[in-house]
Amino acid sequence: MKKTIRYSLLIILLSFILIQVIQIPQVTAQEIDKTVTILFTHDLHDNFLPVKDSQASVILESGGYSRLLSAVSAAKKVNPSALLLDAGDFSMGTPFQTIFKSDAPGLRIMGEMGYDAVTLGNHEYDYRASGLADSLNAAKESGDRLPQIVQSNVTFPTDEYGDLTPSLTSLKHAYEDYGVQDYVLIERNGIKVGIFGLMGEDAASKAPMSEVKFTDSIENAQRIIKVLKEKEKTDIIICLSHSGTWEDTSKSEDEVLAQKVPEIDVIISGHTHTKSEEPIMVGKTIIASAEDSGKYLGVIKISQEPNLEWKLDNYYLQQIDSRLPNDSYISEIINQNKELVEKKYFKQFDMSYDQVLAVSSFDFDTVDTMYANHNEAPLGNLVSDAYIYAVKKAEGLNYVPVDVAIVPVGTIRSSFFQGNITVADTFSVSSLGIGPDNIPGYPLLSVYLTGKELKTVCEVDASISPIMNDAQLFISGMNFKFNPNRLIFNKVTDTSLQRSDESLEKIDDQKLYRVVAGLYSAQMLSVVGDKSFGLLSIVPKTKEGIPITDFEAQVVKNIAGGNNKEVKEWLAIAGYLQSFNQVDQVPHIPQYYSETHGRKIVENDYHISALLSTPNRIALTVYTIVIVIAVLLVFIVFRISTKKKRLERNSHKFSDVIE
């Protein structure tokens, strides 16, 4: 009897314990707070190290992956389930990109930092399809932890026989091996999150050598949303969009996306380097941006309401600066990559990462300032002058005088500040692309344009820049004036060549002039017709006047140096810096580049004579059409008035007869 009682009590006790074990998780699950924290970046551009900026003559530094990770780690201490995401262009912009193909430093270090998912931006394709394939393969073969890549609107076009090119075949296999997907599912605290990636139309247009094709982002978003909602039963949907936002909301791609695909809960918006102190709200969709280069870590906290909709609880951008400690582990990885850059890239040019090329006693404008101000810029002058100097030095006794050098603001990626200017600083100013030699850095090209086309180049700067700000041009060897208030495509009022002795020369419309530009820039000159609705035309030619079909055949080579290597854009700048007069055995940038010199003069004049004088063919055509329409309107009004008066007279006569 006693045994029975003891066994009964034991069974009751065990049952009670078992019930508690079962019930506690159930209660906990019921009490789970339906909240999600999203940490985000975009447009990091390989800025592993802090970036320089100047305010009130004080050089400041912000960003840097080591400090960024400290901010991420602090946020994850508060909420360990926080997501860490990036909206593309994590590569290209500093010397670390030179080992993009061989070592994939961006993806690997982001994996170590704990990024959950990233999308690809247009700059991930800067080294073409084969370059991205090599990078993805290197990342996978490293065995390191890597972020998931999501990209839903990329396709691999085939030729007329249904075959892929060798480079596209390589990239397609690399996508498969890495595990690039349309979307990824991540579950945190019982909440199922669906994350997908998109490449926007403007971003896609800036990856002309990618070989892949990007399909309509809105149609793809709608396709993915349907899968995530109906098949995957996700609680929340996040889009990593490399599309961007603009002041004109009708053209702001991510705002349009949110309007047309309202089921997206959060859009992390990259590409335009926008800094949104407050999120853009389109309906219930949150659009978030945190500038560029890792200067800020974006933080979004949202919670689910009883009706299952998500509301914004908190949003802020945390500045990444010297107030944050450096993470020692990431710092060591950065140093290792820096050594690889020196060994694999700079060594072939007999240079080192921190080598001082010159000293400046003044600051140059920042890139943001140059974009904001449609004016002549000293840095643009220096870079374009460097191109002419580099060609002259590379060709030596075989030098054919260069008339004009052209530099778009979009190819200037960084600036110079007061103090030492290093090899790394110089590379970062002109870091884009890769040449036919398969070595990072766009090379210089030599092409020929007619005098009429040179004038059109000025009109591109004056008229196209407000439409496409990357088209703003800095020019060496030519001066021009324009009035921004004049009719579009007729804003330029005066142009002339400026020779090395500062003398001015009238431009002959029919003559061929030698022009130097970067590979990307020279190719883009030929597509201005699309941006000008076919009204402007620039056709780069050979010295014989034959339109160029193979731009890479026009690359400037270092003939005088005896190595016949490509003259890279950044190397042209480096060589020019080293040519300046030395003080204490270090070249100093001359004061000439501390100010402007009338190469581009903006005449903001509203007088009728200033607006209508010296019309070109386009303006004359428009004015003629306007005059013809005006005459027709006057004629129609006159006819109507005459007919009305005749009817009134007839009416009076009829009345008189009746009376």
The yes-or-no verdict on residue 421 having pLDDT over 70 is: yes
524 shares a domain with 636: no
In a domain, 168, yes or no: yes
Average pLDDT score over residue span 590-611: 93
User: Are 423 and 309 found together in one domain?
Assistant: no
The three-class DSSP label of residue 516 is strand
Q: Please check whether residues 597 and 638 belong to one and the same domain.
A: no
Mean pLDDT across 197-201: 97
Question: What's the confidence (pLDDT) of residue 466?
Answer: 85
378-395 and 569-578 are packed helices; what angle lies between their axes, rounded to 10 degrees? 90
| Domain boundary residue, one of 265, 298, 319 | 319
Q: From 113, 59, 83, select the one nearest 288 (Cα to Cα).
A: 83
Give me the amino acid identity at 485. N
- Per-residue pLDDT reduced to its tens digit, 247-274: 989 989 999 999 999 999 999 999 999 9
Could you tell me the residue range of the domain that residue 551 belongs to? 357-602
Looking at the structure, do residues 597 and 627 belong to the same domain, yes or no? no
CATH number of the domain to which 405 belongs = 3.90.780.10
What does the pLDDT look like over 115-125, one tens digit per residue? 999 999 999 99
In this predicted structure, what is the pLDDT of residue 621?
74
Residue 644 has a pLDDT of 78
CATH number of the domain enclosing 293: 3.60.21.10
Does any domain span residue 13? no
Cβ–Cβ < 8 Å for 383, 430? yes
Whole-structure pTM value: 0.88
Contact status, residue 315 vs residue 300, Cβ threshold 8 Å: yes
Same domain for 403 and 301?
Answer: no
Residue 477 counted as domain residue: yes
Rounded Cα distance between 1 and 67, Å, is: 71
What is the pLDDT confidence band of residue 501, given thresholds at 50, 70 and 90?
confident
Q: Is the pLDDT of residue 56 over 60?
A: no
Q: Which of 470-479, 537-546, 559-568 has the lowest mean pLDDT?
A: 559-568
Q: How far from 511 is each of 97, 451, 480, CA to CA, in Å?
A: 41, 6, 18
Among 272, 296, 319, the domain-final residue is 319
Q: Is pLDDT above 60 for 70?
A: yes
- The answer to whether residues 483 and 553 belong to one domain is yes
Domain count, the chain: 3
What pLDDT score does 19 carry? 45
| Confidence grade of residue 54 (pLDDT, cut at 50, 70, 90) | low
CA 98 – CA 580 distance, rounded (Å)? 27
Q: 640: which 2 tokens?
A: 């109507």
94-119: average pLDDT:
98
Quick one: 248 and 395 in the same domain? no
- Is the domain of 626 the same as that of 555? no
Is 616 inside a domain boundary? no
Residue 97 maps to a domain: yes
Residues 575 and 649 both lie in one domain:
no
Q: Confidence band (pLDDT; 50, 70, 90) for 29?
A: very low
Within a domain: residue 103? yes
12, part of any domain: no
Q: Is there a single domain that holds both residue 441 and residue 556?
A: yes
Residue pointed to by tokens 């009305």: 644
Rounded to an integer, the average pLDDT of 444-467 is 93
Per-residue pLDDT, 524: 75
Per-residue confidence at 287, pLDDT binned at 50, 70, 90?
Answer: very high
Q: What is the tens place of the pLDDT at every residue in 616-648?
A: 877 777 777 777 888 878 888 888 888 877 777
- The pLDDT score that the predictor gives to residue 33 is 65
Least confident of 52-61, 280-289, 581-590: 52-61
In 3D space, the residue among 60, 55, 57, 46 whose CA is nearest the CA of residue 320 turns out to be 60
> Is 104 a residue whose pLDDT tops 90?
yes
Percentage of the residues of the chain whose pLDDT score is greater than 70: 91
- 302, 311 contact by CB (below 8 A): yes
What DSSP element (H or E) covers 280?
A: strand 280-282
Residue 67's pLDDT is what? 97
Instruction: State the CB neighbour count (10 A cutoff) for residue 326.
Output: 16
Average pLDDT value over all residues in the chain? 91
Residue 344 lies in a domain: no
Q: Are residues 157 and 264 in the same domain?
A: yes
Q: Are residues 381 and 480 in the same domain?
A: yes
- pLDDT of 6 > 80? The answer is no
